[in-house]
Each structure stands twice: as C-alpha cells, then as structure tokens.
C-alpha cells in the first residue's frame, strides 16, 4: 500500500540538524480530505506521547523535541487556513532557524488514489494552494513533500467541495491504514531514537 523505504533509509546520518515536519491543512476543520497532512502529524504526536503547544507568534501548534546527536525535531500544524499556511511555516522556520531543505511538507494529493503515498523533492505545487503558499513565503521550492493520496471526484468541477468533505465510509479504513503507515515511516526516518526509548519504556512497564 505504502512503500517509502528508500526515503526512510536516507538521511539518517543527517539528523544532527533541526528538522521541521509540517502537516498542511485548514485550522479548525478537522475531518476533511484537505487535512490529511495534519492527521499524519497528529498520529505522530500520539505515537510519541507528546502534546501540542500553541505558539502564537508562529500562529501554529508546535512540538519541539530532541533527537539524535544533539539535533531537534519540530512538528507543526498551522493555525490558519490552507492558503495562508506558508506564513506560519516561514515564521516558524525563521524563529527556529530551519532551512527550507530541512522542512518536510505532508499534504493531500488529488493525483494519487486513496491508499497511495509518494515523496516529491521540490518542484511545482501542482495546484495545491497550501504548497504554493509555502513556496511563496519561504522563497524556495526545496522542501521535500510527502503526498498522501485522496483521489479525485468523478466530477472534476467539484474539487473544492470534495477536498473539504470527510472520507467516505468505504475510503476511511484504507485512509486510516495509510496514515498509520506514513506515521511509522516518518518516525523511523526522523525519530528512531525516540521510538527505541518508547519501546524500552513499554517493555519495562510489562508485568
């Protein structure tokens, strides 16, 4: 269903720097196709047992945690609408001194079917307003992107309504499995030491 193993295996040696993982979406509108990036970030936070805090200066929910060899991992959910996500992300990148190439954008993708995911390294936003906003405000297209498939509506004129709707009862189980797979891969790539710590704690707590 989701095979991002090559992505997961790369760059582990580079985790001594700051990495920023962003879930794109519309703040305050949780269950919709357009917010699947935020769903992945929420899943990561839950797996790590970490709580979101509000950073008002960045207009975002933020988690900042230490990772391998003195590096740090930032998780971010903008507290603005999708087409303004870039403002929040650029402010965060500036405040925490994160380079565009060290920012991963996680977002929905109409071009991929539900259950499919793909990594894209830079390039055009392909009509995604959240990605476009990021490129404008970061003044860069260097950010790698994890695209999570949501499929296209049969009627292509209904795209706006489609992305703002929840997944259908048929799509939901597949989407939940996809989010789980993406979460595990991102944790293995960006926070392997945190996963090891969690597993040790679970082992110690077993009777």
CB 58 within 8 A of CB 88: yes
Closest CA relative to residue 165, chosen from 151, 176, 178 = 151
34 is catalytic: yes
Catalytic residue among 27, 34, 107, 128: 34
Residues with catalytic function: 34
């Amino acid at each position: 269903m989701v095979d991002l193993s090559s992505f997961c295996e790369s760059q582990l040696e580079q985790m001594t720097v700051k990495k920023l993982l962003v879930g794109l979406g519309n703040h305050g509108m949780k269950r919709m196709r357009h917010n699947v990036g935020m769903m992945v970030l929420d899943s990561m936070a839950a797996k790590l047992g970490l709580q979101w805090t509000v950073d008002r200066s960045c207009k975002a929910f933020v988690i900042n945690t230490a990772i391998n060899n003195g590096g740090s991992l930032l998780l971010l959910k903008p507290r603005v609408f999708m087409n303004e996500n870039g403002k929040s992300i650029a402010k965060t990148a500036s405040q925490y001194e994160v380079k565009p190439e060290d920012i991963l954008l996680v977002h929905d993708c109409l071009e991929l079917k539900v259950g499919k995911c793909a990594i894209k390294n830079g390039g055009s936003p392909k009509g995604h307003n959240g990605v476009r906003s990021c490129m404008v405000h970061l003044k860069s297209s260097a950010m790698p992107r994890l695209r999570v498939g949501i499929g296209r509506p049969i009627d292509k004129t209904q795209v706006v309504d489609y992305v703002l709707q929840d997944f259908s009862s048929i799509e939901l189980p597949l989407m939940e499995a996809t989010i789980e797979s993406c979460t595990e891969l991102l944790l293995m790539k960006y926070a392997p030491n945190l996963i090891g710590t969690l597993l040790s704690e679970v082992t110690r707590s077993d009777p």
